[in-house]
Structures are given as structure tokens and as C-alpha cells.
């Protein structure tokens, strides 16, 4: 009996200590006189329901609205038990992402290239390693490089068109477009990143699609591991904590090694991303980059096989998922707005006819209305719903005496900014004319952030936009899309998906023109 009483007392003591510790964590901002969101949950803070009930875009939008209603340009909140800052004002977004980039150059997302090789990519790296890698990779994404890959993407798009025609001719009039589009972009990225024919359109069980999709799956265990690694970065690195799935790492490291060995042994040259990375690996820069005047050709530090694999990995997973997601949401909106669909189709046909029936890189990237439609899709459905930055040192919010400790997560709620009715009136309405040049000029430039902004803007945005536009042109020239009884209305985002993804997919009727 005495032992039971002692155990009960110990339990109450430990529970009380945990309770008061968590309450103190949630008072972090209010104790410093910094405005913050109200009523945090003891364990979940201000993100209760994440993964299990609501997508992060909805949770962050609710937080954004609560802070904006109080006329705040920023506010504190609890990401579970981690004190964080949400940026509300587009002008402050600009300050964080550009003006004070020297302080905010890191995302603050846990990575450890030593123990977790595939985390050593451009999106996650910090400080000097990020700067050095960005400088090496920037020349690989120029418009000239994209133009050289254009023909390769057109070939995959033609296979996609044939696949859609065959499905239609077999009597398939309704398709779940999210899956089909992911297979198309997997084939495109597999070809452009690895020079491999994935044949995912014919083989939906492709390992590329399987492991690429796995990256964006979230489970409570993965989230807990991510939070702990984020809170205790140094300890996590000492323990060799890996956030990349073991199967994902094994597949991408293996396919990279095989491709590199084959190309170097057989001197294979292709117009793709892998070819450019191999040049950087072996020489430290692209072979057609001019040497500095007055100096002899020099060999600069290149890439290790692990670093090369990490870049291929992020290019693949980011390129296939974000582009397929954008095309998926775009087709959904075009099906729900047939007048916009017809206007876009006519615009595409006129532009191609004016170029003697030829589809070229310049025509694809120069179609103004197509550009408006894609931009409006990215406005309403930004693939990455929020962006992170952390200050390198203690940071005083401009115009205030509020000091934010170094390494605090600053969250920029992209989805919420894109759905702010004061910035975009009637934000749930799909209206490509929001992106007419004269309308864009009336908005703050940092209220539209589908690719981020500043020195860490998405390096692959040109490729992503080109791939998306080629896919849409291919489909709209041959097919008309309509909603069915199974088409979700309204769309609800899957809380288990890192990117925006509709629950139940996107079922559309497909009629051949």
C-alpha cells in the first residue's frame, strides 16, 4: 500500500512538472510582451488537428486571420510546444525574405547530410554550404538550359496524349486525374533528372512513383520525430537521426550510383539535369562556363556522389509532385469553369496557328492567358502552403523594441496570404484576370509567393512552369474536361499530405475533341 501511494505521488509530481513546463512554454511570447495567438492547447499548441483532422493550410489560415483581425503585422504562436512567429504583413515578408536575408538565409528545417545523405540538398542546406551549392547549380536552370530540355518533355507529352487517347478509345470516359498527372510528371522528371524511361503511364506501380510519393506522406510518428529533431538539432545530429525513409534513400542512392557509373564509363551525353550535375561533379562548374579573364582553366571543388544524389532526389520529388498538383488543380478549375477552359483552348490554338502550327519553347512560355491561368491556380492552390525562415542572431522587429531570439521559426503563411480577401477579393473564385499586368501592379509583390521569393526563390521554377504548361497544352488541345458526380465540390485537402492534395482525388469526365 505504501509503495502504491509512493508511486501515485511520484506520478502526480512528474505530471505536474510536465504540465507547468508546457504552460511556461506557451507563455513564452506573452511573458516577453509580444502579441500572440490566444488559447494554445497544452500539447498541440496552436496547431491542434494537424495531420489527423485538418491540413496545415487551414490551420495556418485560421491563425493568420486571428492575428490580422487585431491589425498585427506579426504574432507569436506555439507550433506544438515550439515558440514560433507568424508573419502577416507582406511588407514584413519582404523584410524577412530579402531586406534582412543576411539574417534569415536559413529555413531552419533539420538536415544532416552526414547521417542522412539525401537531406543534403539545396532546399534544406544552410549557411556557407547552401551558398556554395546555389552558386554551382544556378547556371543549370537558365532559360537556355530549359530550352534544351524542351524537346525531351514534348516527347513524353506525346506519349501522354497517346495514353489518354487509348484510354478514351477503350471507353474510359472518367479518370482520376491526380494519379494520371503524377504518372506523367514522374516520366518527365525521370527522363530529365536520370535519363531513364520510367514508363509510369503504362506501369503505375513504378518504383519512381512509389518512392517519390512516399516522401510527401506524413504520419504522427514522422511528425513527432521531425519536431524533436527540430527542437534538439545538435543532439539529433550526434545521434545520427534520419528523417528520410530508409527505402527512399536506398532507391535514390542506388539509381544515382548506377546512372553515374554507366554514363561515366560509356561517356554518355544527354540534354538533361544529370548531365549538368556530372559536369559540376567532375569540374566544379559547367563545362561551357567561361573561365575568369587572365586565369588558366582550374578545377574547382565538385560534388560527391552523395551530394549529387541529393540534388537529383530533390529535383525529382519537387518536380513531379508540385507540377502534377498544379495541373490537377488547374484542370479541376477549368472543368468547373467551362468558359475559362474554352477561352484558354482557343488562345492556345491561335498562338500555335500563328507559329505555322509549331509548338516551341517561346510559344509555350509566351502565352499570356495560359500564364494567367497557371498563376491563378498557384494563387488558389500553392503546392507549399507555407515557408520557413530562422534568424541567425537575435532579431529586433523593425519599428519595434521586440527582440526575437535566434533560431526562432518565422512562418510565412502563403496559402493564407493568397486567400486574404483584402488582397484578392472573393478569393475562392477562380479568376485568371487577377494576373493581368495592370491588376498585378495594384498588389504588394510579396502577397504572391508560390515559389518563395528573394535569394532562396525556387531554383527550378522555370522547369516546373514549363512542364506544367506543356502538360496542359497537350491535354487541352485534344480533350475537354467536365465534372462528374464523383468530382469533389468543394475540394477538401488531405491532412496527411505535406502538399495540397484533394481527399478522394479529382475525378473528371474526359471527352476527346
The annotated binding site is made up of 458
Cell of 320: 513531379
Task: Evaluate whether 111 touches 120 at the Cβ level (below 8 Å).
Answer: yes
Classify 116 as helix, strand or coil: coil
Q: How is 5-72 classified by DSSP, letter by letter?
A: HHHHHHHHHHHHHHHHHHHHHHTTTGGGT--B-S--BTTTBT-TTBTTTB-HHHHHHHHHHHHHTTT-
Annotated binding site for heme: 458
Radius of gyration of the chain (CA): 24
State the Cα–Cα distance between residues 138 and 311, nearest whole angstrom.
12
Backbone angles phi, psi at 138, to 5 degrees: -50, -45
> Residue 215 gets which letter from DSSP?
T
Cell of 101: 536575408
Residue 386: CB atoms within 10 Å:
21
Please give the sequence-ordered ranges of beta strands (E in DSSP) within 74-118, or none if there are none.
74-79, 82-87
Backbone angles phi, psi at 104, to 5 degrees: -110, 40
| Contacting residues for 393 by C-beta, under 8 A, at least 6 apart | 103, 406
Q: How many residues does the chain have?
A: 513
State the Cα–Cα distance between residues 454 and 422, nearest whole angstrom.
24
State the Cα–Cα distance between residues 39 and 79, nearest whole angstrom.
13
Half-sphere exposure (Cβ direction) of 22: Cα atoms closer than 13 Å? 16
Cell of 276: 549538368
Whether a cis peptide bond, with omega within 30° of 0, leads into 485 is no
Classify 74 as helix, strand or coil: strand
Classify 380 as helix, strand or coil: helix
Residue 109: CB atoms within 10 Å:
18
Cell of 192: 530529365
Amino acid at each position: 500500500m505504501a509503495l502504491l501511494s509512493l508511486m501515485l505521488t511520484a506520478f502526480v509530481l512528474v505530471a505536474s512538472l510536465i504540465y507547468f513546463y508546457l504552460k511556461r512554454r506557451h507563455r513564452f511570447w506573452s511573458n516577453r510582451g509580444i502579441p500572440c495567438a490566444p488559447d494554445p492547447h497544452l500539447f498541440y499548441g496552436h496547431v491542434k488537428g494537424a495531420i489527423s483532422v485538418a491540413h496545415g493550410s487551414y490551420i495556418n489560415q485560421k491563425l493568420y486571420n486571428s492575428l490580422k483581425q487585431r491589425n498585427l503585422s506579426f504574432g507569436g504562436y506555439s507550433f506544438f510546444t515550439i515558440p514560433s512567429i507568424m508573419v502577416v504583413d507582406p511588407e514584413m515578408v519582404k523584410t524577412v525574405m530579402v531586406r534582412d536575408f543576411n539574417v534569415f538565409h536559413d529555413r531552419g528545417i533539420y538536415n544532416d547530410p552526414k547521417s542522412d545523405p539525401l537531406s543534403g540538398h539545396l532546399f534544406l542546406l544552410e549557411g556557407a554550404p547552401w551558398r556554395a551549392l546555389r552558386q554551382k547549380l544556378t547556371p543549370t536552370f537558365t532559360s537556355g538550359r530549359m530550352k534544351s530540355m524542351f524537346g525531351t518533355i514534348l516527347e513524353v507529352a506525346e506519349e501522354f496524349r497517346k495514353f489518354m487517347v487509348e484510354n478514351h478509345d477503350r471507353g474510359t470516359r472518367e479518370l482520376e486525374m491526380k494519379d494520371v498527372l503524377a504518372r506523367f510528371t514522374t516520366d518527365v522528371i525521370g527522363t530529365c533528372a536520370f535519363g531513364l524511361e520510367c514508363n509510369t503511364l503504362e506501369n503505375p506501380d513504378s518504383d519512381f512513383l512509389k518512392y517519390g510519393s512516399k516522401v510527401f506522406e506524413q504520419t504522427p510518428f514522422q511528425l513527432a520525430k521531425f519536431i524533436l529533431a527540430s527542437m534538439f538539432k545538435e543532439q539529433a545530429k550526434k545521434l545520427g537521426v534520419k528523417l528520410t525513409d530508409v527505402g527512399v534513400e536506398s532507391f535514390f542512392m542506388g539509381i544515382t550510383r548506377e546512372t553515374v557509373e554507366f554514363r561515366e564509363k560509356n561517356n554518355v551525353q544527354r540534354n538533361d539535369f544529370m548531365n549538368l550535375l556530372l559536369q559540376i561533379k567532375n569540374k566544379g562548374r559547367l563545362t561551357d562556363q567561361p573561365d575568369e579573364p587572365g586565369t588558366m582553366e582550374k578545377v574547382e571543388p565538385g560534388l560527391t556522389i552523395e551530394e549529387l544524389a541529393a540534388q537529383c532526389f530533390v529535383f525529382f520529388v519537387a518536380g513531379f509532385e508540385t507540377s502534377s498538383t498544379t495541373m490537377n488543380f488547374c484542370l479541376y478549375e477549368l472543368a468547373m469553369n467551362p468558359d475559362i477552359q474554352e477561352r484558354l483552348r482557343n488562345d492556345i490554338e491561335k498562338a500555335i496557328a500563328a507559329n505555322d502550327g509549331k509548338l516551341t519553347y517561346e510559344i509555350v512560355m509566351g502565352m499570356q492567358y495560359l500564364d494567367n491561368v497557371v498563376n491563378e491556380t498557384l494563387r488558389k492552390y500553392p503546392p507549399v502552403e507555407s515557408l520557413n525562415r530562422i534568424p541567425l542572431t537575435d532579431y529586433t522587429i523593425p519599428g519595434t523594441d521586440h527582440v526575437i531570439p535566434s533560431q526562432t521559426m518565422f512562418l510565412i503563411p502563403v496559402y493564407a496570404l493568397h486567400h486574404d480577401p483584402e488582397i484578392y477579393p472573393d478569393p475562392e473564385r477562380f479568376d485568371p484576370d487577377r494576373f493581368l499586368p495592370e491588376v498585378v501592379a495594384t498588389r504588394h509583390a510579396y502577397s504572391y509567393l508560390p515559389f518563395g521569393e528573394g535569394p532562396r526563390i525556387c531554383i527550378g521554377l522555370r522547369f516546373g512552369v514549363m512542364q506544367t504548361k506543356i502538360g496542359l497544352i497537350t491535354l487541352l488541345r485534344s480533350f475537354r474536361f467536365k465534372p462528374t458526380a464523383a468530382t469533389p465540390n468543394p475540394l477538401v485537402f488531405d491532412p496527411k499530405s505535406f502538399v495540397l492534395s484533394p481527399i478522394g482525388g479529382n475525378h473528371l469526365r474526359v471527352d476527346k475533341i
